[in-house]
Amino acid sequence: MPCGGESQRYFPLDQGLGLTRLQDGHFLYVDPMDEAVAAHLIAHGYWENWIHKVVCSLVRPGDHIVEVGANFGYYTVAMARQTGPNGSILAFEANPGLADLVRRSVHFNGYSPTVKVLAKAASDKAGTLSFAISRRNAGGGTISTTPGALGPDSVLVTVETVTLDSVAPDDVRFIRMDAEGSEPLILRGAERLLQRPDIVVCMEWDVIQMSARADVRELIAWLSSLGFQYWSIQYDSTLRSVPAAEMPTLPACDIVMAREAPPGVPLTTAGSPDAV
C-alpha cells in the first residue's frame, strides 16, 4: 500500500474504519469489511459509473433532493456537489452504522450545511420494522425478521419508519432510491411529492425483490395513471424508453421515471443493452 502522496487512495483509520479517495475527488468513510460497494470504492474509487453519470446529469443547481438508501454516501456527496449551496438533500439510511459514516463523510467534504442524514427507513406508513444488516454486505440491508437473512454475520435491528410526504419539503424535484425491493412502499408514502409536475425519480428496478412487497403491475398502473413515463439506464449512460407494458418483465436495472424525457441525458439508439 502506498505510504503517501496523491497515489494513495485508501487510508486505514481503525480495524473497522477507513477513508477512501474517490475518482471525483470526494472522500468517503467506509467499512473495509464490506465486500461489495466499499471494496470497489477502495480498489477503484468509483461505483456504477454509468449510473453515477446519469444521476449527476439529472441534478440541477439549487435542486432539493430526497435520497433513500444512501449506503456509504457515494451518490449523496456527488448530488451535493451538483445541487450546490442553494439546494438541499434529505438522505435516508436505515442501517444506523452506515448512517453515521454518511454523516461523517458529508461533514468531511463540506456539505453539512445542505445535507441532512436520517437513520430511518422510508415506507408507506409511520411505525417501526425489523431490518437486517450486515457488515460484509452493507448495501443489502432489507426488511426482514430472519436473523441470517444476509449471511452468517447479519443481525436484526429495529428502525423507525416514516413517509416521505411527512418529512420532505414540498419543493423536492429529484428522488433517488436504492432500497432492496422496498421502492413500492416508499413511492406509496410519497404521493404528495409525486404530484409535482417536474418531479424526476431515479431508482433501482428489481421486479423479483419488489414483488415481495407489492403487486408490481398495480404499482405500474398507479404510476402510469399519474402520468409517469419510464426509461432504463444503459451502460453508455443513455436512457432507453420502456413502455409501461414492458415494466413488469424488465430485467433488473436502474430506471428514470418522469412525466417527460428529462433534459440533460441523451436517449439511447435502438439495440443498446440494459444495465444490470
User: What mean pLDDT comes out for the span 110-135?
Assistant: 96
Residue % of the chain over a pLDDT of 90 = 86
Q: Tell me, yes or no, whether 3 lies in a domain.
A: no
Q: What percent of the chain has pLDDT over 70?
A: 95
- Any idea what the CATH number is for the domain that residue 228 is in? 3.40.50.150
Model confidence at 151, in pLDDT bands (50, 70, 90)? Answer: confident
| Residue 178 belongs to a domain | yes
How many structural domains is the chain composed of?
A: 1
pLDDT at 274: 58
Give me the sheet containing 88-92, strands edge to edge.
Answer: 115-118, 88-92, 64-68, 172-177, 200-205, 253-258, 229-233, 239-242
9 within a domain of the structure (yes/no) = no
Average pLDDT value for residue range 110-131: 97
| pLDDT, tens only, 1-14 | 333 445 679 999 99
Tens digits of per-residue pLDDT, 53-86? 999 999 999 999 999 999 999 999 999 999 999 9
Reading the block at residue 229, the C-alpha cell is 413515463
pLDDT at residue 272 is higher than 80: no
- Residue 201 phi/psi, 5-degree rounding, is -120, 130
- Is 267 part of a structural domain of the chain? no
Structure confidence at residue 143 as a pLDDT band (50, 70, 90): confident
Whether residue 211 lies inside any domain: the answer is: yes
Q: Which of 4-18, 150-164, 262-276 has the highest mean pLDDT?
A: 150-164
Beta strands in the chain (DSSP E): 10-14, 17-21, 27-30, 64-68, 88-92, 115-118, 121-122, 127-133, 142-143, 155-162, 172-177, 200-205, 229-233, 239-242, 253-258
Q: Note whether residue 127 is domain-resident.
A: yes
pLDDT of residue 3: 33
Q: Which of 81-90, 142-151, 167-176 has the lowest mean pLDDT?
A: 142-151
Q: In this predicted structure, what is the pLDDT of residue 148? A: 79
Assess contact for 110 and 27: CB atoms under 8 A. Answer: no
Instruction: Give the pLDDT band of residue 43 (cuts 50, 70, 90).
Output: very high
Residue 180 within a domain? yes
Q: Is residue 43 part of a domain?
A: yes
Give the pLDDT confidence score for residue 2 in this predicted structure.
33
CA dist 145 and 112 (Å) reads 34
Query: Which structural domain, as residue segments, surrounds residue 247?
Result: 18-258
